[in-house]
Structure 1
């Protein structure tokens, strides 16, 4: 039987590009998102054999729904070889606005807790089998905080730390935890950004590089590599200089502006 990949947020952007890439390599797909009809239509339009894919409807902000999607996959398709926690949101916030605190909580529910809820059903089965990949999609934005982008930056920093913790816990089990930190990828999440996006990458190009990184079992990879260099420089930049560089930078759209 061909290998199986489980992907959340599979109805668009990075998730869909990863699904297409794995499908071309003959993998079976377990596709998870709220918009199940769109995923079904996409798989059919691509001409994928019906036995190659299954669709599971879930909002990963709902812990039980995310866990149930994983359990259904185990029951219908077996233990995946790769699980990719890709679902995520990105909205600007203003801490002075009360409604934006709810936006921040929702962002963490999807971008951090949703990652753990996605992984949860598969940890023990993978450990018992002795191999597997748990992949968390983080972001270069998790390296430093950007004005107006506090919810997203903080959630992605948390996702990086969470995956690092899990990697240590699973060391020696045969299960690898891989963290991928994309730079700017041309997806619906970035389409309305009102600031420059250096090294903007197409989703299919990202997917090609991501699949290779996952197969290698690398612990953390920034894609594209140019953003990896930028991330390392930003990490060591003195706060005073970092703050000066951001003067006048447009803020991320708030939820009321989307």
Structure 2
């Protein structure tokens, strides 16, 4: 990996801010808007924020964990950073693009690095119709919600909802129901990354549903369209001994 200028960004936590001060005192750095490589200090949530922040510039992001889980982050060390950045391996991710249309006729677009999820807003179960590439695959799903996950996001909310872990190069996304009631035995599907998925909310006035793309929430949706946006490349950097592909495989063998 070659680069000429580095910037540091950090989450608001004390640990992340302290780490940034130590790194800035030790290494040459520039303003994030002028850098050609960004080092992000925090947890997975902050990494998602950083990816969204720099999505238009297509510069690589190297994360170091100053948060909790840190699945998308490398381990934190002050020494040897330039050498680590030079040896880092690049992983290209493509986000999901959500187009949500509300019951009031408003349209909202947002990107999701992890997943797009639909969630019931009240005590009553949501009722959803699912179309994939124009064909109705499930006329009515009664559930708490449903999500469509990228491979990078498959170990996050998707895994908690009992969805499959997906290797990065598999070329598929995971469609995973959240507490399905009817059909009771349906546990989701694996879809080609080229698929366009449309969720139609049935009885929207009686059973309101919200749609969430990472941290963008749209309330009272009537229809949500989701597809992978391959025109956007997101570059993450990982230490060779701790790359994301290896972590995704290893996650499937944890007790």
The structure where helix makes up a greater share of residues is 1
TM-score (norm 2): 0.27
TM-score (norm 1): 0.27
Q: Which has the larger radius of gyration?
A: 2
